[in-house]
Chain A
Amino acid sequence: MSVLSFRLKGPLPGRVDASPLLPHRLAALTVTEIAALPLRLGRGHVVVGELFDLSGGPGDTVEIEGDGRLDFVGAGQSSGTIRIAGAVGHRAGTGMSGGVLVVEGSAGLAAGAAMRGGVLTIGGDAGNELGGALPGERTGMMGGRILVRGSCGDRVGERMRRGLIAVGGDTGAYAALHMNAGSLLIGGRPGAATGHGMRNGTILFRGEIDPLPGFADCGLNQLPFLSLLDNHLSELDGVPPACRGLTGRARRWLGDRGFGGRGELLSCL
């Protein structure tokens, strides 16, 4: 299994679209061809070789040195592994359908937006719209798994339909806005207006919450599926420890009834 590494020659001069650097696309090219690939830089273009030193050979794994201005990393990824040493810019893993994208640092806006499959792991924090919907789209995330060790911004899991998002830290406002289905695990504190407009799906968190008035308090319950979920999480790599250890006992709110929803907020013990 060969690994192709991209080392930054210096700080990026502007925002770069890294979406062409996908393992399955690079596997068919030679290192020289890859070095000559054009990348969008701001309003113009630049070739890969001008920004990165390449080493190793093309295969199913790509390692990239991260930068906060490197956008669209792993966008549309369908197979293989991309490992980022450091941070990434906006829209990492957008529309991803398979493979593994590991960001060791933090991610910018809309990481994993409109994801359909695969695994996105973020070692640091994530910005707004993590696992959210692309502008104008009726559905957001439709599959796959997003695991964030740190916190995330507003509107995580907006219009989510399927899949799992686990955030180890706090989430911003409007988490799971208009959620259709799927699961959002929050290891820290959920922000304001969590679950606004949700129709179905599950938001799990620890501790206190002051839910929106559209949520009906169903009290403490023993939910057998929580132990099943916990078993499943224990088999996965990179799940934030704060999201683990579900006992099966949880306080349950149903809503958002203002939108005819019957999703659930679960405050797990």
Chain B
Amino acid sequence: MELPIYLDNNATTPLDPRVLEAMLPYFTNKFGNAASRNHAFGWVAEEAVDYSREQVAKLIGCTEKEIIFTSGATEADNLGIKGVFEMYQDKGNHIITATTEHKAVLDTCKHLEKAGAKVTYLKVKEDGLIDLQELEAAMTDQTILVTIMYGNNEIGVVQPIKEISAIAHKHGALFMTDATQAVGKIPVDVNADGIDLMAFSAHKMYGPKGVGVLYVRRKNPRVKVTAQMDGGGHERGMRSGTLNVPGIVGLGKACELCRLEMDSEAKRLSGLRDKLESALSQMEESYVNGNVEHRLPHVANISFKYVEGEGLMMAMKDLAVSSGSACTSASLEPSYVLKSLGLSDDLAHSSIRFGLGRFTTEEEIDYAIENTKKAVNHLRDLSPLWEMFKEGIDLSKIEWAEH
């Protein structure tokens, strides 16, 4: 077993060697521009892109023509939301999203507010799921788009996508989802789920960084987005720019592998995740964040009360994880996602996200359990709050000098 152990697969995943192998020729002798229609170099590249498009389509249950390649999920989120807002201006200006969305969605919505959009940010319940009745109540005749993420990047909860899209459609709005954490990990089918637009990226599923997809529905209804990048009219005019052929080949291979291995892999990962989670949640004053029933198989988010996440990560130096503590940010604000669940700031500061992946082994999880327990105990020995808790002092009754 090699140290450090990578348990931050919600941030990014390593490239699968099989994906790399598929990509390599497209950096060297198969270097053509997929838009070169009049010679063999272009045809070879185009063929590879077409094959990749097929693989992506198969994974999410759509047709090839509905795939728009982008530079990643952030660009896809921008193109989807801004593109719908501009294209459907005559229908309305209201967008509904949720407070736990990724910044690529939230900041895009904020940007559009300056351009005249009305945006509703739905709160989530304690378990991280949105309240469907609240969504229903927020719908107006001006609502053009509901955009709610599939699986959350910090806590892994999976939203009731079918129910959400049904509500959006009932009121004549489009439904978009940022499915970056879900595609390739759990079954996502755009037709069964009623998805009109969907953003995701390759590097969260063992593909390369710098390539992603916006799925845009072509039938029932035919969805259009206004291009956000002008140029050669690539990707059916919705996203100009020479295609990143090696990246797209890698994305295609990554999708193919995820589709073929999803069932067994999801079972294996949720087994390891459960082992990790049950061992760590047996520790005194530790809490699992988010709904534990409706969620991705590969993420556990746990708060260890009375220790601070960043300090804790330093003690877990052989583990690469992340924390909801934002001690490094200038604002000193902890994770807005955890705060949206109603977690107090101190519990949000005390959280650690473990993100498992295709290359995580049971041996690594066993090591992670021991390493984390040791680190938590060590930091609790250093913590004045732990000492006070042990003495039975009610910390909420103390007047803290907030700084």
Query: Do A and B make up one complex?
Result: no
A residues whose Cβ falls under 8 Å from a Cβ of B:
none
